[in-house]
Amino acid sequence: MLEATWGALNGATRNVLTGVGEYGYYLRDIIRAVREVDTWPRETIRQMRVIGVESVLLSVIVAAFLGGVTAFQTRFQLFPGVQVSAVGLITRQSIVLELGPLLTALVLTGRVGARMTAEIGTMRVTEQIDALETLAYDPVAFLTLPRVLAAIVMLPALTMLANVAALVSAWLTLLLATDVRTIDFVEGLRISFAPFQVFYSLIKATCFGAAISFVCSYQGYIAKAGAEGVGQATATAVVITSVAILTLDAIVAAVLAPFVQA
Amino acid sequence: MKRRDEVLVGLLLIVTVLVGVAGTVWLARGGLASGYPMYALFPWGAGLKNGQPVLLAGVNIGFVRQVELVPDGTLRVTLAVNDEYKIPEGTTAAVEPNGIFGDQLIALSPKLAVTTFMTEGDTIETGKGTPGTGEVLTKADSIAADVSAIASSVRAEFVTDGGIAELRKTTQELTALVTQLGTIAAEQSRELTLTQRQLRNTLAAVDSVVVDSTLKSFRASSANIAQLTSDLQQTRAQVSSILFKVDSGTGTAARLLNDPTIYARVDALLLKLDSLAADVKANPRRYINLRVF
């Protein structure tokens, strides 16, 4: 009994360490792939379009609903005596510091990350990646690095648009559905605002973009043969990425939150 | 197709950067033309932050752009005032609470009927603000502590030391006393009624003729007493006159009373009389010689 438990524990520990090590090797390969400048720049632009431009509408719609609901709820949770401008302050802080980057990243995990894993996984199981290696192409430089770079650049861009869309939606919602006036909302938006709060949001988005592309491309890269393997890899990628995003969110908040105060 | 990707990506990035920069500048500075700066000085701990509103006579005219900590214990606050508003000379600035959760605003109080205005970059004089939530809460805490102390004292006096029991006992005794007084009052009232009735009966029985006769007798007696008094006064005057004469030394009686020489003579006379009496007793035949025949 004890021997079996020890064996299971040993095996699990070895699996975790192996997984971390493989992620490390993968990261090393990505860094090495930067040298392949003839391979990744053009594909990076394409991936930026796929990840960024094609996700603008979804990100903005999600953010608009997010901003409207946040502002609406905030207004009606305030009890008498609180100045109405607090709605603007709370909405801004909620969206810019937390919900904007977080929900954008989670939405893109489903839309972009799953697609990324499925694409690369399919290429793996159909031996297209092997073919690239045969043709002396670095598959990481061709498949992974462009996606990682594109996600690192486009996630902050999408987050910025999402933040703006959420705040505009919040303003319109308050104006049309509540007693909050524009001057109150704007006054609240400006209270305790510091430009670093925007950078904080972008830093989070950059981390999330790196996590999405890195984890999802890796899960596709190591997908097992068959359609089931690709599906399994996609599900695993979404789960791991979601957890990674929330973990990074907590880490970034813990590290940078003291600097956010105006 | 490739060219189209680059255009789209570039467009998205440019729009994103422009939106981000414009939004940040608008929030932080109120836009590119964000009014003109004014300054105000407040003590440390005023609770000021960037973006807090600036009100002139209750009208929002700008916001706090910057708060600088000066080592001499003051905060140098930069106010961004909208271009369409001017601040009258003599205006004072004060930090006042905005809502009940500790947020602050800067309230500018202008003087009435002032036609001159401060210029850009002037420092607004610091005025006296209303007490903040913290001060109110401190005062409330103080009052609550006092009330608690009073309650403790009352509890100690009335509960622990048996004050309430004594109060109840006193109340019961007072009730008994009142009852007793009520009984006495009823008794007195009854007796008073009885006395009144008897008095009425007595008065009814009194004969007015007898009363008149009695009164006449009283009057006659009074007249007699008055006469007697007058006689006594006359007698007293005569006695006084006699006593005066005696005292003043005139007359025989006065001399008898006042002249020591007479006293000496009388005394000597008495001695001689004594001696004579003794001699008479001793030798009666010398003095008494009765001869019948």
- DSSP-assigned states of every residue in B189-201: HHHHHHHHHHHHH
Confidence at residue A78, expressed as pLDDT on a 0 to 100 scale: 85
| Chain B partners within 8 Å of A52 (Cβ) | 9, 12
**pLDDT at residue B134 in the model:** 67
- Output DSSP code: residue A53: G
Query: Tell me, what's the pLDDT at B102?
Result: 67
User: How far is it, in rounded angstroms, from Cα B63 to Cα B76?
Assistant: 14
- Taking a contact as any Cβ pair under 8 Å apart, which residues of chain A between 31 and 90 contact chain B? 42, 45-46, 48-49, 52-53, 56, 81-83, 85-86
ipTM > 0.85 (yes/no):
no
Mean pLDDT of B209-214: 80
**Rounded CA separation B131/B129 (Å):** 6
**Distance of residue B156 Cα from the nearest chain A Cα, in angstroms:** 39
Output phi, psi for B94, to 5 deg: -140, 150
Task: Report the pLDDT value the prediction gives residue B241, as an integer from 0 to 100.
Answer: 82
8 A C-beta contact, residue A63 and residue A98: no
Residue B122 structure tokens: 């002037």
A168: pLDDT strictly greater than 60: yes
B124 has which bridge partners?
B40
CB atoms within 10 A of CB A93: 18
Q: How far apart are CA B85 and CA B88, in angstroms?
A: 10
- Mean pLDDT of all residues belonging to chain B: 84
Please state, in angstroms and as integers, the Cα–Cα distance from residue A217 to each residue in A40, A233, A234, B64, following that order. Answer: 15, 10, 10, 47
Report how far apart, in Å, the C-alpha atoms of A241 and of each of A237, B48, B163 are: 6, 41, 73
- A26-36 residue pLDDT tens: 999 999 999 98
**Averaged over A147-156, what is the pLDDT?**
95
pLDDT band at B99 (very low <50, low <70, confident <90, very high): low
pLDDT of residue A247: 96
The alpha carbons of chain A give a radius of gyration, in whole angstroms, of 22
| Per-residue model confidence (pLDDT) at position A85 | 85
Task: Specify whether the CB–CB gap between A147 and A194 falls below 8 A.
Answer: no
Per-residue confidence (pLDDT) for residue B32, from 0 to 100: 63
Name residue B69's amino acid: L
Paired sense of beta strands B92-97 and B53-56, if any: unpaired
- Write down the pLDDT at residue A51: 93
B16, two tokens: 């994103």
Tokens (6 digits) for B77 = 């606050």
Banded model confidence at residue A201, pLDDT cuts 50, 70, 90: very high
Residues B217-226, mean pLDDT to the nearest whole number:
89
Beta strands in A136-260 (DSSP E): none
State how far residue B69 is from chain A, nearest Cα, in angstroms. 14
| B66 membership: H or E segment, kind and range | strand B59-70
- Over residues A76-83, mean pLDDT: 82
The kind and range of the H/E element at A86 are: helix A86-92
Question: Do B100 and A157 make contact, defined as CB atoms within 8 angstroms?
Answer: no
Q: At what angle do helices A227-260 and A114-125 cross, to 10 degrees?
A: 140
pLDDT at B101: 62
Task: Give the residue, B248 or B127, on which the prediction is more confident.
Answer: B127
Substitution target from A192, A193, A201 for chain B, most B beta carbons within 10 A:
A193
Neighbours of B139 (CB within 10 A): 11
Chain-chain contact of B24 with A195 (C-beta, under 8 angstroms): yes
Residue with tokens 């609180």: A82
